[in-house]
Structure 1
Amino acid sequence: MAAPSFSGTSWGCLILVLLLYWAHVCLGVPDPHVRARLMQEEASRRTGGRVLLTESEQKLSERLHKLKEQEIAGPQFPPMMHFFEAQPFIQRSPIFSLLQRMPKGAALHVHDFSLVSVDWLVKNVTYRPYCYICFTKDQSVRFLFSAQQPLPRPQCSTWTLLETLRAKVGNVTDLDNSLIGNLTLFTADPGAAYPSQDMVWKKFEQTFIVTLGLVTYAPVFKEYFYRGLQELYMDNVMYLELRALLPKTYELDGSMHDRFWSLRTYQEVSRQFVADHPDFLGTRIIFTVHRGLNDSQVKEAVKMAISMQKTYPEVMAGFDLVGREDSGRSLWYFREALSLPVDLGITLPYFFHAGETDLQGTEVDGNLLDALLFNTSRIGHGFALPHHPVAKELSRKMGVAIEICPISNQVLKLVSDLRNHPAAVLMSEGHPLVISSDDPAVFGATGLSYDFYEVFVGIGGMSSNLGTLKELAINSLRYSSLSPQQKEEALALWQKKWDKFVVENSQ
């Protein structure tokens, strides 16, 4: 949904109202009618401010407003707490319960190795035959499925069958909880565990290395993705655009499959899920590589993305660079590689992470503007966007939506109190936004409901209403990489789900 524009007439009316207002201010007699007009104008510019609600929608919006008043007045207000501490309070919230039932459209910013809850990964996958484990010198673990004893790895203990280890230990629950702790950032005291961004990012990236050996086992790779779609579907998400490294996968005998196999498998599993759940719209893949690579390596990755898009145009959506921006290379560093599609006369959509930083004036702080200059389709995170008025104006004019992932931004220590999240400014201006969850499994979350809660209750505050939620859900489909016809079909299906949700919850 494009951001609302203001015609010359509306601007003229606003200027007239402002002149009248200041005239009254100078006289020391503010006009309450002028004040009301100004407040109405400001409200109309917010996300959802121009969404017309039906009678049933207005009833539900009023109900949500009362619930939010109670939530804000309560002894614990979750958005001002770290998510790990706030999660139990969120789960008890009647607003959260409503949001879980709400049709949320699409998840447009989720990463491949954090799609499925780690409980399922540990209690299901690690209990399968031939699952080996080794313990590293830096207090971590590695997994590998193998028909025979794996070869030793540097900095790792002797490989042991998990089945054998579980038979030896006295408390399997403690072992499983320890494994879960290696796959997630969750801790009872996040402030003490992660005193800096460097510390939390080190553990964050470590979790993906641990997950790698489990998820890249070919049979698990398929089941893991199907399970991920199930978890999204259970949270009333109807479409996914997955940021995926498309890693090489392996079989029990050690034979390997290439990236094309991984992409094809995503397509096949997604088709099977749609066949099993006809009201789910499917999946498209955004191929990603780490921004720690050099220019020649990224150039090869771009060539690979072009080849994948040519071979699998239905499922291949585009390309992105992932990893911590503050310690990685800037988009401008990769300008030769990223210019390759244009040089070849080929269109390769980009979906760049940019602005996931709280450091102003650094080289990577220019990523927002460079992402737009490279014609990105959306911007991942965009946390720093309010500090860049030119980039903000340009993204609005270009219709480039910002993928807001509030829980990720908080856990990775960009913001502590989500009432202070920069997206509050973007929402007040009606900037194009979509809500997503980034790496939900690593944060101990599932689906999109937790992030919608933080946006609706914390970032949006008392100004957000059902119109806000409706516009954000519609945005997720309008700003997706689906074709225009697919978007219209998706919106029609979503509208039916939305109308049913409103009727069932507005009484």
Structure 2
Amino acid sequence: MVSVWLQRPPAAAACLLLCCLAGGLAAPDPQQREALIRREASMQTGGRLQLSDAEQRLDAALFQMKQKEMGRADFPPAMHFFKARPLIRTSPVFDLLRKMPKGGALHVHDFAMVDVEWLVKNATYRPHCYMCSTDKRSVRFVFSSRLPEALPRCSPWTLLENLRAKMVNTTDLDNSIMGNMTLFTNQDPDMLYPSQDVVWDRFEQAFAALWGLVTYAPVFRDYYYQGLTQFYTDNVMYLELRALLPQTYELDGSTHDTAWTLKTYQEVTRQFTADHPSFFGARIIFTIQRRVNASVMASAVEEAMKLQRDFPDVMAGFDLVGREDKGRPLWYFRDALSLPAEKGVTLPFFFHAGETNLQGTDVDQNLLDALLFNTSRIGHGFALLRHPLAKELSRKRGVALEVCPISNQVLKLVSDMRNHPAAALMSENHPLVISSDDPAMFGASGLSYDFYEAFVGFGGMTSHLGSLKELAMNSIRYSSLTTKQQEIAVALWQRRWDEFVSENAF
């Protein structure tokens, strides 16, 4: 007997299916509709959390704020962050998010965590700071007790204290230096950065500009302490920092090795935690540029294993950084990345993967390869929706995506935050955390701006206080902390959360 479905034309079969879902040929049942809506809402991030009476009052107030926000003609998540930033700063939703205890920041890069104004005012005004200008309209810095050797394709070195002494007003100079260390601009960003190639070139030039400042050992210590301060001020209690662990140098030109740099991170973190007892701490994910060759990668993995052995409390794991579309894919480094397993050494991986919109390339396979190498989390994972198997595996294994909304927009993967892939992932409570990647490069700070874009842009009117609460808890749940440490951190965070709710629920 031929099935009735095969006898009917496709349109009729679809119509019959809809009728069956509605309970036969009768009109849809309003109660069934409400039940479906409630069930779907329960599937989103935070959808199954039970809110206290105080949390429900705060949630109702937050809903009213968001309604007004989404009714604006100049809706911030629909525009480039550089244009939206002044609007976000006046938002009542943003004001509340700044006060909210956000847990941990799990995807932040070492030399893009501190506001560039602080860097210019606190680093370039120190004695013995030299600057030169490159033929790519960028700058380079070095601290030296004597005139440094000339750099190729750079102007003669200028001692900044002498240059400033000749000026009546140094504001223009300082602003010019700052402009070299950030992508943020008051010009039209889409005109200034018309393509991914252009914006990434400028991005890399900005890192090169500040390198000589931050790798100067006295600045390095102060820079990291200030970075912790800025995240702590934004109500972040824990940090996992991607760090290249570069050689740092002294005024006489002598240098310190990778172990010294990691130990300095450890010492400064301990000092900061002693000064701020409600800060839980920080751990380091050792990184290397993905454009290196296989032998250099193997050496880096060997070094990472040694650091993991020598600094187990501060060393979280290993990652590859740099532009994914132009770098070598994970599979190219499969021999090097297999070394820990071959030697029976535990070295957690936290791979950047899927930070691309190029479908079907070798780079586009990084998501599956990251999971093959048992990555603990996935950095960005922007392409995950195009990889249903990777999506299924990451959910089953509890491998969270580190979603960095503003970074993805500024680096031209998405223009309107409402269209970000994470909007779909939040609707089904896929494991994810919100982070800020390189906030200083984007004119942001801490996590609040990225939480705003996620909450208002990704979440629309369906995300609520429960969504924010679960995202904050995710940042501890998916951290590299031990189970016992996570329990302690969650308890500390919960106390701060309860205080936040009590102070803001009216």
- Normalised by the length of structure 2, the TM-score is 0.96
Tell me if the contact between 1:353 and 1:379 (Cα under 8 Å) persists in the aligned partners: yes
Counterpart of 1:14 in structure 2 is: none
Write the deviation string for residues 215-269 of structure 1: whole angstroms up to 9, x where unpaired: 0000000000000000000000000000000000000000000010000000000
Amino acid at match of 1:215: V
Amino acid at match of 2:491: A
CA–CA distance in structure 1, aligned partners of residues 30 and 379 of structure 2: 42
Amino acid at match of 2:400: A
CA–CA distance in structure 2, aligned partners of residues 177 and 310 of structure 1: 44
Write the deviation string for residues 148-191 of structure 1: whole angstroms up to 9, x where unpaired: 11111111111111111112345411111100000000112101
Counterpart of 1:41 in structure 2 is: 39
> 1:27 offset after TM fit, Å?
1.1
Counterpart of 1:161 in structure 2 is: 159
Tell me if the contact between 1:136 and 1:155 (Cα under 8 Å) persists in the aligned partners: yes
Counterpart of 2:300 in structure 1 is: 301
Counterpart of 2:54 in structure 1 is: 56
Tell me if the contact between 1:21 and 1:35 (Cα under 8 Å) persists in the aligned partners: no
CA–CA distance in structure 2, aligned partners of residues 68 and 85 of structure 1: 19
Tell me if the contact between 1:129 and 1:163 (Cα under 8 Å) persists in the aligned partners: yes
> 1:24 offset after TM fit, Å?
3.3
Could you say what secondary structure the match of 1:327 adopts? Answer: coil
Counterpart of 1:430 in structure 2 is: 429
Are 1:416 and 2:415 counterparts? yes
Could you say what secondary structure the match of 1:51 adopts? Answer: coil
Write the deviation string for residues 306-327 of structure 1: whole angstroms up to 9, x where unpaired: 0001000000000000011111
Counterpart of 2:12 in structure 1 is: none
Counterpart of 1:27 in structure 2 is: 25
Amino acid at match of 1:161: L
CA–CA distance in structure 1, aligned partners of residues 26 and 118 of structure 2: 65
CA–CA distance in structure 2, aligned partners of residues 60 and 372 of structure 1: 39
| Cα separation, partners in 2 of 1:341 and 1:164, compared to 1, 3 Å | same
Could you say what secondary structure the match of 2:280 adopts? Answer: coil
Tell me if the contact between 1:20 and 1:34 (Cα under 8 Å) persists in the aligned partners: no
> 1:20 offset after TM fit, Å?
9.8
How many aligned residue pairs are there?
490
Are 1:206 and 2:213 counterparts? no
Counterpart of 1:108 in structure 2 is: 106
1:122 is aligned, of 111, 117, 120, to 120
Write the deviation string for residues 49-75 of structure 1: whole angstroms up to 9, x where unpaired: 001100000010111100000011123
Unaligned residue ranges in structure 2 (runs of 5+): 1-15
CA–CA distance in structure 2, aligned partners of residues 154 and 171 of structure 1: 30
CA–CA distance in structure 1, aligned partners of residues 225 and 360 of structure 2: 42
| Cα separation, partners in 2 of 1:30 and 1:220, compared to 1, 3 Å | same
> 1:26 offset after TM fit, Å?
4.9
CA–CA distance in structure 1, aligned partners of residues 233 and 135 of structure 2: 39
Counterpart of 1:462 in structure 2 is: 461
Write the deviation string for residues 406-453 of structure 1: whole angstroms up to 9, x where unpaired: 000000000000010000110011100100000000001110000000
Tell me if the contact between 1:21 and 1:31 (Cα under 8 Å) persists in the aligned partners: no
CA–CA distance in structure 2, aligned partners of residues 393 and 363 of structure 1: 20
Counterpart of 1:447 in structure 2 is: 446
Counterpart of 1:8 in structure 2 is: none
Tell me if the contact between 1:21 and 1:34 (Cα under 8 Å) persists in the aligned partners: no
CA–CA distance in structure 2, aligned partners of residues 36 and 179 of structure 1: 57
CA–CA distance in structure 2, aligned partners of residues 32 and 356 of structure 1: 42
Alignment of 1:158-197 (within 5 A): 158-188=156-186, 189-197=188-196
> 1:41 offset after TM fit, Å?
1.1
Could you say what secondary structure the match of 1:283 adopts? Answer: strand
Tell me if the contact between 1:341 and 1:348 (Cα under 8 Å) persists in the aligned partners: yes
Counterpart of 1:76 in structure 2 is: 74
CA–CA distance in structure 2, aligned partners of residues 246 and 36 of structure 1: 54
Counterpart of 2:129 in structure 1 is: 131
Amino acid at match of 1:193: L
Counterpart of 1:320 in structure 2 is: 319
Are 1:333 and 2:332 counterparts? yes
Write the deviation string for residues 69-89 of structure 1: whole angstroms up to 9, x where unpaired: 001112311000100000000
> 1:121 offset after TM fit, Å?
0.2
CA–CA distance in structure 1, aligned partners of residues 139 and 167 of structure 2: 17
Counterpart of 1:86 in structure 2 is: 84
In angstroms, what is the RMSD of aligned CA positions?
1.2
Could you say what secondary structure the match of 2:142 adopts? Answer: strand
Percent identity between the two aligned chains: 67
Could you say what secondary structure the match of 1:89 adopts? Answer: helix
CA–CA distance in structure 2, aligned partners of residues 376 and 56 of structure 1: 38
> 1:21 offset after TM fit, Å?
6.6
69-78 vs 194-203, greater mean Cα deviation: 69-78
| Cα separation, partners in 2 of 1:388 and 1:221, compared to 1, 3 Å | same
Alignment of 1:467-478 (within 5 A): 467-478=466-477
CA–CA distance in structure 2, aligned partners of residues 102 and 317 of structure 1: 26
Counterpart of 1:393 in structure 2 is: 392
Tell me if the contact between 2:247 and 2:256 (Cα under 8 Å) persists in the aligned partners: yes
Alignment of 1:217-296 (within 5 A): 217-296=216-295
Tell me if the contact between 2:377 and 2:399 (Cα under 8 Å) persists in the aligned partners: yes
Counterpart of 2:487 in structure 1 is: 488
> 1:22 offset after TM fit, Å?
2.4
> 1:345 offset after TM fit, Å?
0.9
Amino acid at match of 1:401: A
Tell me if the contact between 1:102 and 1:498 (Cα under 8 Å) persists in the aligned partners: yes
CA–CA distance in structure 2, aligned partners of residues 174 and 206 of structure 1: 20
Write the deviation string for residues 8-31 of structure 1: whole angstroms up to 9, x where unpaired: xxxxxxxxxx99972536515111
Tell me if the contact between 2:69 and 2:75 (Cα under 8 Å) persists in the aligned partners: yes
CA–CA distance in structure 1, aligned partners of residues 143 and 206 of structure 2: 18
CA–CA distance in structure 2, aligned partners of residues 474 and 139 of structure 1: 44
Counterpart of 1:364 in structure 2 is: 363
Tell me if the contact between 2:19 and 2:26 (Cα under 8 Å) persists in the aligned partners: no
CA–CA distance in structure 1, aligned partners of residues 168 and 416 of structure 2: 41
> 1:34 offset after TM fit, Å?
1.1
Unaligned residue ranges in structure 1 (runs of 5+): 1-17
> 1:40 offset after TM fit, Å?
1.1
CA–CA distance in structure 2, aligned partners of residues 181 and 258 of structure 1: 30
- Normalised by the length of structure 1, the TM-score is 0.95
> 1:349 offset after TM fit, Å?
0.1
Could you say what secondary structure the match of 2:325 adopts? Answer: helix
CA–CA distance in structure 1, aligned partners of residues 321 and 20 of structure 2: 49
Counterpart of 1:499 in structure 2 is: 498
Counterpart of 2:138 in structure 1 is: 140
> 1:33 offset after TM fit, Å?
1.2
CA–CA distance in structure 1, aligned partners of residues 505 and 414 of structure 2: 34
> 1:346 offset after TM fit, Å?
0.8
Could you say what secondary structure the match of 1:287 adopts? Answer: strand
